[in-house]
Amino acid sequence: MSALESSVVTKAVLAAYGFSENASVRRFGNGHINGTYLIEEQQKRIILQQINRQIFPNTEALISNALAIEHHLLTKQQQGEYQLQVLRQQPSCDGDYLIGDNQDLRALQFIDGGRSIEVVENPEQAFAAAFTFGQFAKALSDFDASKLYSVIPNFHNLAMRFAQLEQAIAADAVGRLAACQSLVAECLSAKDLADELQSCTAKLPVRVCHNDTKINNMLYSDAQQAGIAAIDLDTCMPGYWLFDFGDMVRTCCSPEPEDSLRPELVVIRPEIFKALAQGYLQGLGDGITEAEKQSLLLGAKVMCLMIGVRFLTDYLNGDCYFAVHRPHHNLQRAENQLRLYRDLLRQQSTLQAMLK
């Protein structure tokens, strides 16, 4: 795709970052939320993102968080306490971190030498991802989480997500309720998990959390057979480490992608769960408390159920939040999340033992 074929990456945008109109521009990654492009010219490469202001209305807060985390991690790196590469914001030639008429365009420095993994193939990759996110969390464990903006308030508020589902059920805005009654009933039958979560988190320290620890938010080096960077920091906010571990379990443990059309194959692989537990705990080292360690399996259950609820809610509302690429896409995603939740319950005692 040339720059002139994109309504986002215009000649003016290219010039703002020092590129000519002949620069190569192509879509990059497969995120659900922001539009992401790789811009290349000769030896210069940057990632340009159009921030989805429906999801992130306060782009200034998002950039403020990113710069604060960047500065802290660079300091840790310089002190020899952080071995990973740091995702850095790229200012424009005028020194601006946000550009465009809507102030919704920002650039990131390109990190070379790594690739994204979409589906975990083996325990070694799972360990690498968890160790990467564990190191990231530990490096930020002495950062005052209250200094970060909550760019998406109540992001992991399970009780609120259930309330949103109930609103969507009552409205049935696009007439889809009849097609998913069994999934709706299954979700509502698990509402007590919200009370368990509230009781648990009342005893835990508030941490800086990544909040989107999918395996494709780690850059993996095949040469080093290890993660080299944690990326996509837009949802870094105050929270609890159980959410980050839970999201790794949710996105790494199934041999199928999140939107698989083979739901019968969507299961929790115990060997992958064990690798995640070992990698995350090793990355965190002595930074994790015993109460936090005991909360991690709950985090896995909460994240599978909560994302399932969110996909189902979006399906009922007419696919307003998550990008969809086929009919019933969000419904299929929701079914897969609920399958993972069921399998976590089935294997609960075995998996809890792995966290010791």
pLDDT in tens, 180-199: 999 999 999 999 999 999 99
Q: Which pLDDT value is given to residue 15?
A: 97
Q: Which pLDDT value is given to residue 237?
A: 96
Q: Which pLDDT value is given to residue 35?
A: 85
Short-list 149, 181, 123, 147, CA closest to 59: 149
| Cα(317)–Cα(164) distance, integer angstroms | 10
Residues carrying CATH 3.30.200, the chain? 6-109
Instruction: Tell how many helices (H) and how many strands (E) occur in the chain.
Output: 11, 9
Q: Are 155 and 247 spatial neighbours (Cβ–Cβ below 8 Å)?
A: no
Sequential DSSP letters for 275-327 = HHHHHHHHHHGGGS-HHHHHHHHHHHHHHHHHHHHHHHHHHHHTS-SS--SST
| Cα(147)–Cα(144) distance, integer angstroms | 6
CATH H-level superfamily of 123-354 = Aminoglycoside phosphotransferase (APH), C-terminal lobe (3.90.1200.10)
Q: Report residue 318 CA to chain centroid gap.
A: 23
**Mean predicted lDDT score pLDDT of the chain:** 95
- Portion of the chain with pLDDT greater than 70, in percent: 97
Over residues 242-269, mean pLDDT:
96
Q: Are 221 and 228 spatial neighbours (Cβ–Cβ below 8 Å)?
A: yes
Q: Which pLDDT value is given to residue 4?
A: 41
Residues carrying CATH 3.90.1200.10, the chain? 123-354
Place 139 in a pLDDT band, splitting at 50, 70 and 90: very high
Q: What would the CATH number be for the domain defined by 6-109? A: 3.30.200
Does the pLDDT value for residue 1 go beyond 70?
no
Find the DSSP H helices in 54-203: 59-78, 123-139, 158-171, 181-188, 192-201
Neighbour tally for 158: CB within 10 Å: 21
| Cα(101)–Cα(103) distance, integer angstroms | 6
Place 32 in a pLDDT band, splitting at 50, 70 and 90: low
Q: Which pLDDT value is given to residue 5?
A: 46
- Alpha carbon of 194 to those of 188, 211, 228, 265, 310: distances in Å? 11, 18, 35, 28, 14
pLDDT tens-digit profile of 195-234?
999 999 999 999 999 999 999 999 999 989 899 999 999 9
Place 99 in a pLDDT band, splitting at 50, 70 and 90: very high
Over residues 14-39, mean pLDDT:
89
Q: In sequence order, what are the beta bridge partners of 208? A: 238
| Cα(273)–Cα(271) distance, integer angstroms | 5
Over residues 299-309, mean pLDDT:
98
| Cα(25)–Cα(22) distance, integer angstroms | 9
Over residues 254-274, mean pLDDT:
96
Q: Which pLDDT value is given to residue 33?
A: 73
- Alpha carbon of 326 to those of 66, 251, 261, 319, 331: distances in Å? 33, 21, 11, 11, 11
For residue 89, report the phi and psi dihedrals to the nearest 5 degrees: -70, 145
| Cα(129)–Cα(220) distance, integer angstroms | 8
Q: Are 250 and 340 spatial neighbours (Cβ–Cβ below 8 Å)?
A: yes
Name the pTM for this structure: 0.92
Place 2 in a pLDDT band, splitting at 50, 70 and 90: very low
| Cα(56)–Cα(34) distance, integer angstroms | 10
Does the pLDDT value for residue 241 go beyond 90?
yes
Does the pLDDT value for residue 31 go beyond 70?
no
Mutual angle of helices 158-171 and 290-317, in 10-degree steps? 20
Q: Which pLDDT value is given to residue 6?
A: 62
Q: Is 76 exposed, middle or buried (0-12, 13-18, 19+ CB in 10 A)?
A: buried
